[in-house]
């Protein structure tokens, strides 16, 4: 039987401030305080819970295609769900923070499964085959808040959908996890095809996984508990940029300030490989990256589509940065996939600015990256944001701008192929998005399989598919025109 109990219980972060520790009443239960960055995201997310929604919950999708001998998994009988379920439990063993949940606003809790029944129950709660759904997007619009991460398989579209609260994970982390999941499927497919997979409770040394529970970013980066005056100035400067949201423009929306949000929907637009290559090259020739170029065209689309009364207002949007590459190992590696290691600030452009000026400004913001001084000030940054959110007055008008989040080249996190052409899985499409309960939208930007993709997530109570599709087409047209690329 697997070894369990307090003998395996200690996972220390680089400092000893916030370790996972075993609960006195239950040696199989481990807790740690949530870090300020997690608390900030959680405060933003939970207001939708009374409505059965979770703002900013993250959705990751991958369309899988069995290769060679693995096509037999599709049956009849269809045994692919059995393989996915087993691999999901293996993924939980490798990344136990998938099963960590908040007990309140202040602590994360993880419980080691102590029986095959307990593990099976967790699998039943967290893995679902959506046989009647036509796509992952259809499932996303119905997901309610859940304590643990969730995995869905949609047979009709061959999609895997990983869903999690944002305080648990960032955009990069979930892509790493989907890749790891498919890699595990490759590892176990032959066993399933030749017979039967072993009982997952007996397959892994449950109890030992607690050494892989993730610390908050404040501990992973060894951030000081008390900020210096210089660190406070850096932190408060970044937090101060959020004031740029005041008085910014928005785009038209359905309903009024009292309208209740519904499900999250998405519009998606792919550039052809030829146009993608041409756009990337043309942007580079102008001294900007494709993300900054798209950001400038997104700003232009916001100005063009702005509410009539907002004409002349400025546009504010987020500069999102991943902290992962600035962290020590293992937190800079895929081993730390199930963690929240991000930061960001706001930037402003005015309607009078040219596309070229805005693109260069955005490029400069993205090129700032994360300095060691900024990283050490980040505990103060997140703690200050927590206080700002707690004391934020209700806005005089609901914000309804369209923001941006760039994933860059997705192959850095998710491969196109796992295994071999004879025995493997291809990933033919992948995507990221968040749950939205506000009137705002977010355009997620990435390239995968040499195609630039724009995915605009929005709430269906406030925007129509036609409106959001037109918005994306406007971004595409503007980008290609500005870069001199023929559609």
pLDDT digits (tens, 9 = 90+) for 113-147: 999 999 999 999 999 999 999 999 999 999 999 99
CB atoms within 10 A of CB 118: 15
pLDDT in tens, 46-75: 889 999 999 999 999 999 999 999 999 999
**Is the pLDDT score of 415 beyond 90?**
yes
**3-state SS, residue 442:** strand
Listed by start position, the domains of the chain span 26-212, 217-483
Q: Please name which of 355, 414, 424, 437 lies closest in space to residue 62, comparing C-alpha atoms.
A: 414
Cis omega (within 30 of 0) on the bond before 476?
Answer: no
pLDDT at 396: 85
Phi and psi at 195, nearest 5°, equal 180, -110
Average pLDDT of the residues in 308-313? 96
Alpha-carbon distance of 354 to 360, in angstroms, equals 10
**Is the pLDDT score of 19 beyond 90?**
no
Q: Which two tokens stand for residue 57?
A: 């919950």
CATH architecture, domain defined by 26-212 = 2-Layer Sandwich (3.30)
pLDDT at 5: 27
CATH architecture, domain defined by 217-483 = 2-Layer Sandwich (3.30)
pLDDT at 9: 28
Q: Which two tokens stand for residue 117?
A: 């029944």
Alpha-carbon distance of 460 to 438, in angstroms, equals 10
Handedness of CA 145, 167, 426, 93 (dihedral sign): negative
Average pLDDT of the residues in 303-317? 97
**3-state SS, residue 434:** strand
Helix residue spans in 151-272 (DSSP H):
171-194, 200-203, 217-220, 229-240
pLDDT at 105: 66
Mean confidence (pLDDT) of the chain: 94
Residues with Cβ within 8 Å of 467's Cβ and at least 6 positions away in sequence, in order, are 252
Q: Pairing between strand 402-409 and 441-448? A: parallel
Phi and psi at 180, nearest 5°, equal -65, -40
Alpha-carbon distance of 476 to 278, in angstroms, equals 13
> pTM here?
0.95
Q: Which two tokens stand for residue 44?
A: 């933003």
Phi and psi at 425, nearest 5°, equal -130, 135
pLDDT at 32: 96
Alpha-carbon distance of 340 to 215, in angstroms, equals 9
Average pLDDT of the residues in 219-229? 97
pLDDT at 487: 76
Average pLDDT of the residues in 372-391? 97
pLDDT in tens, 279-298: 999 999 999 999 999 999 99
Provide the Cα torsion 173, 109, 19, 25; round to 10°. -160
> Do the first three CATH levels of 26-212 and 217-483 match, i.e. the same topology?
yes
pLDDT in tens, 460-472: 999 999 999 999 9
Please, are residues 210 and 112 in contact by the beta-carbon 8 Å criterion?
yes
pLDDT in tens, 257-266: 789 999 999 9
Cis omega (within 30 of 0) on the bond before 77?
Answer: yes
E strand or H helix that includes residue 60? strand 58-68
What is Dmax (Cα atoms) for the chain? 69
pLDDT at 7: 26
pLDDT at 25: 85
- pLDDT band of 23, cuts 50, 70, 90: confident
β strands within 280-416, DSSP E: 315-322, 342-349, 402-409
The conformation of residue 408, written as its DSSP 8-state character, comes to E
Rounded to whole angstroms, what are the CA distances from 332 to 372, 374, 381?
15, 17, 21
Please, are residues 443 and 318 in contact by the beta-carbon 8 Å criterion?
no
Output the DSSP codes for 98-114. Answer: GG-EESSSSEEEEE---
């Amino acid at each position: 039987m697997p070894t369990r109990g307090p003998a395996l219980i200690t996972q220390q972060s680089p400092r000893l401030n916030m370790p996972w520790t075993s609960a006195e009443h239950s040696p199989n239960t481990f807790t740690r305080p949530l870090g300020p960055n997690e608390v900030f995201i959680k405060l933003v997310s939970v207001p939708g819970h009374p409505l059965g929604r979770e703002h900013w919950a993250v959705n990751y999708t991958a369309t899988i295609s069995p290769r060679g001998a693995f096509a037999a998994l599709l049956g009849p009988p269809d045994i692919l769900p059995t393989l996915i379920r087993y691999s999901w439990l293996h993924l939980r063993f490798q990344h136990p923070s998938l099963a960590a949940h908040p007990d309140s606003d202040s602590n994360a809790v993880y419980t080691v499964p102590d029986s095959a029944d307990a593990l099976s129950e967790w699998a039943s709660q967290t893995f679902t085959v959506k046989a009647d759904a036509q796509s992952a997007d259809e499932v996303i619009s119905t997901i309610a808040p859940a304590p643990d991460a969730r995995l869905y398989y949609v047979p009709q579209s061959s999609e895997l959908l990983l869903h999690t609260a944002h305080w648990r994970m960032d955009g990069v982390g979930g892509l790493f996890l989907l890749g790891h999941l498919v890699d595990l499927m490759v590892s176990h497919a032959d066993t399933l095809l030749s017979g039967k997979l072993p009982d997952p409770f007996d397959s892994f040394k449950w109890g030992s996984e607690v050494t892989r529970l993730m610390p908050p970013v404040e501990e992973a980066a060894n951030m000081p508990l008390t900020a210096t005056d210089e660190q406070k100035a850096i932190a408060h400067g970044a937090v101060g940029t959020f004031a740029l949201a005041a008085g910014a423009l928005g785009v038209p929306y359905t309903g009024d300030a009292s309208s209740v949000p519904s499900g999250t929907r998405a519009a998606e637009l792919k550039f052809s490989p030829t146009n993608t290559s041409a756009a990337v090259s043309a942007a580079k020739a102008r001294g900007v990256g494709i993300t900054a170029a798209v950001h400038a065209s997104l700003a232009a689309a916001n100005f063009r589509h702005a509410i009539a009364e907002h004409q002349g207002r400025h546009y504010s949007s987020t500069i999102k940065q991943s902290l992962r590459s600035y962290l020590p190992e293992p937190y800079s590696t895929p081993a730390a996939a199930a963690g929240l290691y991000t930061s960001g600030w706001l930037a402003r452009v005015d309607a009078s600015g040219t596309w070229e000026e805005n693109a260069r400004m955005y490029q400069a913001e993205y090129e700032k990256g994360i300095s060691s001084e900024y990283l050490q000030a980040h505990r103060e940054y997140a703690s200050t944001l927590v206080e700002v959110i707690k004391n934020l007055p209700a806005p005089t008008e609901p914000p309804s701008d369209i923001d941006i989040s760039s994933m860059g080249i997705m192959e850095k996190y998710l491969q196109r192929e796992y295994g071999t052409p004879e025995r493997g899985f291809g990933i033919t499409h992948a995507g990221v998005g968040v749950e939205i309960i506000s009137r705002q939208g977010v355009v997620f930007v990435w390239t995968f399989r040499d195609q630039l993709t724009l995915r605009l997530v929005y709430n269906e109570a406030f925007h129509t598919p036609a409106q959001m599709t037109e918005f994306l087409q406007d971004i595409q047209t503007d980008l290609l025109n500005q870069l001199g690329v023929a559609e």
